[in-house]
Amino acid sequence: MIDITKVARDAGLTVVLDGKIGTQEYQSVSGSLAALQRFADGYYKPTGDAAKTVEKLLNRAALQFEDEDAAIMREAARMLQRDHYVHLAHAARASASTPPTRYFVYDNDGGYEEFATDAERAAHHHDAIQTYLDDGWSEEVKSVVSGTVTHKTVQTNLEQQPARCQEHADADGEHCEACDAWNEWPDHSFDTTCSYEAEPIASGDAAAAPFPDELTPELREVLGWPNFKCGPVAHVMVAAGAVIKPKAEDEQAVVLHWLVKLVLKHGADWWTIGRDELREMQQRIKQAAAGGDHATAE
Ligand SMILES: [Zn+2]
């Protein structure tokens, strides 16, 4: 949460306590137009790679004697911030237009299971390996494999059994189309025939989600998440098996990417769904930890 009175004071505005009724304080603010401009600059805290350059530009702008120079620097800072968000938006659009990746783990004992995220796949692969440890390792531990699903199986050539001929009860009419169709049907105990074929998932049927031209309130909130807020979320993802470099920039990029996808998919419910996914991850981490202790105790 931004301490708005601190930002105001730092910008050179005067914050005065006018009165106090019970626990409620009434304050007012006054100062120069230049101080108000510094307040506006200070209120918006940029995030991401452009953040340092933006900060430097705004600091230099505050030191300029010429208003025109200061204005040019502020404009440059604004453009940098805008580019940062446009870049994020393009990355999100690219990821939203690809069908969701399906992850799987297979092993001889546990069979085949699918997962929505790579973190879940990694956690399950790890758990599956542990199930082959008894007095010693079973050779079958090598049956544990995981990956992404590249092809799915789709129904093709679906055909409906033709209706029985109305004119010829024994379907023996000469040059009768209805009789011919009935007789060509391979097996009258089946109402339909079809085939099944492999179809690549990449060319699949998931329609490209349009990325909104205007910032929606949800995207504005998500894209404004500062790195110190993304950090704890990234740490949960890492504990659940996600691969994230231990750098604030990478943590923020991965978390924002995840959140933007949630917004594009679930709209205003993005945080309800995101919080549930995080809780699931935490649950799995706990279970994995508890399972590990149990194994060593045996
Ligand atoms: Zn017929």
**Token pair of 268 as six digits:** 């205003």
User: Residues with Cβ < 8 Å from 290, sequence gap 6 or more?
Assistant: none
Round to whole Å and give the CA distance between 213 and 203: 25
Cα 187 to ligand 1 centre (Å) = 18
The 10s digit of each residue's pLDDT in 271-298 is 888 888 888 888 878 877 776 544 433 3
Cα 158 to ligand 1 centre (Å) = 24
Confidence of residue 49 (pLDDT cuts 50, 70, 90): low
Cα 181 to ligand 1 centre (Å) = 9
Bridge partners (DSSP) listed for residue 147 = 104
Find the radius of gyration of the CA atoms of the chain.
31
Cα 184 to ligand 1 centre (Å) = 13
The 10s digit of each residue's pLDDT in 173-201 is 889 999 999 999 999 999 999 999 988 87
User: Residues with Cβ < 8 Å from 241, sequence gap 6 or more?
Assistant: 118, 119, 120, 121, 122, 123, 126
Bridge partners (DSSP) listed for residue 192 = 160
Cα 166 to ligand 1 centre (Å) = 7
Confidence of residue 110 (pLDDT cuts 50, 70, 90): very high
Cα 168 to ligand 1 centre (Å) = 5
Cα 169 to ligand 1 centre (Å) = 8
Q: Report the Cα 22 to chain-centroid distance in Å.
A: 46
Cα 176 to ligand 1 centre (Å) = 5
CA-wise closest residue to 247 among 46, 45, 49, 44? 49
- Check whether 50 has a pLDDT greater than 60: yes
For the chain, where are the alpha helices, taking DSSP H only? 4-10, 33-43, 51-63, 67-96, 118-130, 177-184, 217-223, 227-239, 248-266, 270-297
Confidence of residue 255 (pLDDT cuts 50, 70, 90): very high
Q: Write down the mean pLDDT value for the chain.
A: 82
Q: Is the pTM of this model over 0.75?
A: no
At 80 the pLDDT is 78
